[in-house]
């Protein structure tokens, strides 16, 4: 049996892995725009250098916010996903401090403490307007 991988001949992205006994049959019948390279190459670990049909290891993604861009052959940050997650965190922090934004809280807390909480909550609402959002967020510190 011969193991092979099918890849996009423009981007080098591996789209499938398989094995067969007659590789020539598959080479002749593969869809236009795709090619075959020998070896079972995991699509999330390799791409094919289309200039010489050699496998190249994809750089390790440091976290879920990065993806491999086949057009530039480099890791890129998924700013949309990072932004969504940052806003979810902000919303959770706001929700966890809702108890400070009531009429009774104004009476229960000292004026000073109430104002600290108001400032904190406003700073949370302003997080998406920070200059380097979402890549570098300065999270406000919760009052004691």
Residues 6, 73, single domain; the answer is yes
38 vs 92, residue with greater confidence: 92
The C-alpha atoms of residue 114 and residue 23 are separated, in whole angstroms, by 73
**Gap between the Cα atoms of 3 and 17, Å rounded:** 7
Quick check: is 111 in a domain? yes
Using the 3D structure, point to which of 77, 100, 121 is the last residue of a domain: 77
pLDDT beyond 60 at 24: no
* Average pLDDT taken over every residue of the chain: 90
Assess whether 68 and 119 both reside in one domain: no
- pLDDT attached to residue 27: 58
143 lies in a domain?
A: no
In terms of Cβ atoms closer than 10 Å to its own Cβ (0-12, 13-18, 19+), residue 34 is middle
Check: CB of residue 109 under 8 Å from CB of residue 100.
Answer: yes
Q: What is the pTM of this model?
A: 0.71
Q: Let me know whether 83 and 124 are in one domain.
A: yes
Give the model confidence (pLDDT) of 74-98 as tens digits. 999 999 999 999 999 999 999 999 9
One domain for residues 83 and 72 = no
pLDDT of residue 43: 87
111 and 125 in a single domain? The answer is: yes
Structural domain includes residue 139? no
Say whether pLDDT at 28 is over 80: no
pLDDT(144) > 90: no
pLDDT tens, position by position, 45-69: 999 999 998 999 999 988 999 999 9
Q: Is residue 56 part of a domain?
A: yes
Total domain count, the chain: 2
* Structural domain harbouring 93: 79-129
Q: Give yes or no: residues 69 and 124 share one domain.
A: no
CB 78 within 8 A of CB 67: yes
């Amino acid at each position: 049996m011969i193991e092979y991988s099918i890849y996009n001949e423009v981007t080098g992205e591996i789209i499938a892995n398989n094995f067969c006994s007659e590789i020539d049959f598959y080479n002749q019948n593969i869809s236009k725009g795709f090619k075959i390279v020998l070896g079972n190459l995991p699509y999330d670990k390799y791409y094919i250098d289309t200039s010489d049909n050699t496998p190249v290891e994809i750089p390790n993604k440091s976290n879920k916010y990065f993806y491999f861009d086949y057009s530039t052959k480099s890791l890129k940050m998924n700013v949309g996903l990072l932004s969504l997650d940052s806003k979810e965190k902000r919303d959770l922090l706001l929700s966890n401090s809702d108890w400070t934004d009531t009429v009774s809280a104004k009476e229960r807390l000292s004026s000073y403490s109430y104002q600290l909480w108001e400032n904190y909550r406003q700073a949370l609402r302003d997080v998406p307007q920070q200059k380097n959002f979402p890549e570098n967020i300065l999270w406000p510190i919760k009052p004691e």
